[in-house]
């Protein structure tokens, strides 16, 4: 059930990204990311980190975006 909620939040975040509303996109995407972390869904956590990274980058917070990128890369290497 939680993964369905996270999926819906992800969809809303992606929609807001496409509408160039990065702040709102980030709000939805970070909620989904929390759920995936709580449920241990590392594959979707990686995907969400990439979406979060895009929103943060487009908001101009390049240092924070780089941290998200590094987290996604580290997780991807860990799970293969």
Average pLDDT over residues 32-60: 95
pLDDT digits (tens, 9 = 90+) for 8-42: 999 999 999 999 999 999 999 999 999 999 999 99
Q: What is the mean pLDDT of the segment spanning 34-58?
A: 95
80 band by pLDDT with thresholds 50, 70 and 90: confident
Task: Indicate the angle between helix axes 62-79 and 42-58, nearest 10 degrees.
Answer: 160
**With respect to CATH, is domain 2-79 assigned 1.25.40.10?**
yes
Average pLDDT for 34-62: 95
Give residue limits of the domains in the chain.
Answer: 2-79
Element containing residue 62 per DSSP (H, E): helix 62-79
């Amino acid at each position: 059930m939680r993964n369905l909620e996270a999926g819906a939040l992800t969809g809303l975040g992606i929609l807001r990204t496409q509408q160039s509303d990065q702040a709102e996109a980030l709000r939805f995407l970070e909620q989904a990311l929390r759920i995936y972390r709580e449920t241990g869904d590392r594959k979707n956590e990686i995907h969400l980190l990439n979406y979060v990274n895009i929103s943060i980058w487009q908001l101009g917070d390049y240092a924070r975006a780089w941290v998200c990128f590094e987290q996604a890369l580290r997780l991807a290497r860990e799970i293969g």
